[in-house]
Amino acid sequence: MAESPAHSRNGLPRDLPQAEHPVSEAWRMFRRNYAAMFGLFLLVLLVLVTLIGPLVYSVDPFEIVWAPLTPPGEEATAPLGTDYLGRDILAGLIHGGVATLAVGLAAALITVVIGLTVGALAGFYLGIVDDILMRVTEFFQVLPALMFAMVLVTLFSSSLVVVAIAIGLVSWPPTARLARAEFLRIRNLEYVSAARSVGAKNTRIIWQVILPNALPPLIVSATLTIGTAILFEAGLSFLGLSDPNTYSWGYMIGSGRDNILDAWWAVTLPGGMIFVTVLAVSLIGDGLNDAFNPKLRER
């Protein structure tokens, strides 16, 4: 018997709307948030400047190009002026973004890995495992984060790797608490019970059943952690605790702080770059929160 044209092969009406993929739906909601799209544009622009900029403007940021403390616009050799040693500010802005963004991404990755692991184990196993892991989390949470990072960098070294690890080690407790809350919410849902009933091991349930459904708020948290890590790196560089052989926006602010009244541009311009980067990341984080949170999608 010929199939009715009004129905598909599985017997459902052809005009029945198909369920949209969660990722596609989240991207659609994200695009509707103009502030988030503006933040994404800013972040992409900053990344392109830091990656392509050195190829176009190949001046070494450590090279002395003109007289010290030259204001912006007075010398074509240094369009944005020079610092107290005569180094090109524009070259520093372009090259410094690489280290700043790299530290932010690396520290955010360390934060998510530690926080997710601790929170997932605590929220899934509960009992003594939860008690021990939450006490450890509380211990790290009550420590002054910047002071703890300063101690770690001072004890080991001021390389960018150590700085990223130090920032990650002091920033993971909020992510752990969020992951624990999500695992507590999901662990007793029906599809998790179904996975247990068919003999799935705890490891599989944690990482393949619960984790994919707990990711949306964790993705938002990881995005915002990048901005926090960038501010931490700037603070450590300002205090002279970052790698002096690597140019970053924080290093530029720290090296120019003694001449801020005579050469505002040496501090204001890299500070503005940090501000724009953190603003872009924050706008993206807010957009992801709206896109992944069903309660906010109709807002």
pTM, entire model: 0.81
pLDDT at 131: 93
Task: Tell me which DSSP letter residue 239 carries.
Answer: T
Q: How many CB atoms lie within 10 A of CB 218?
A: 20
Q: pLDDT tier at 16 (50, 70, 90 boundaries)?
A: very low
**For the segment 129-145, what is each residue's pLDDT rounded down to a tens digit?**
999 999 999 998 888 88
CATH of domain 25-296: 1.10.3720.10
The 3-class secondary structure across 111-164, one letter per residue, is HHHHHHHHHHHHHHHCHHHHHHHHHHHHHHHHCCHHHHHHHHHHHCCCCHHHHH
Q: pLDDT tens digits for 25-53?
A: 777 888 888 898 999 999 999 999 888 98
141 φ, ψ (degrees, to nearest 5): -70, -30
Question: Shortest CA distance to 117 belongs to which of 225, 199, 203?
Answer: 203
Look at residue 245 in the predicted model and tell me its pLDDT: 81
- Residue 17 makes CB contacts below 8 A (sequence gap 6+) with none
Give the tens place of pLDDT for each residue, 258-270.
Answer: 888 888 888 999 9
Closest CA to 271 of 242, 243, 298, 231: 231
Q: Which residues contact 34 (CB under 8 A, 6 or more apart)?
A: none
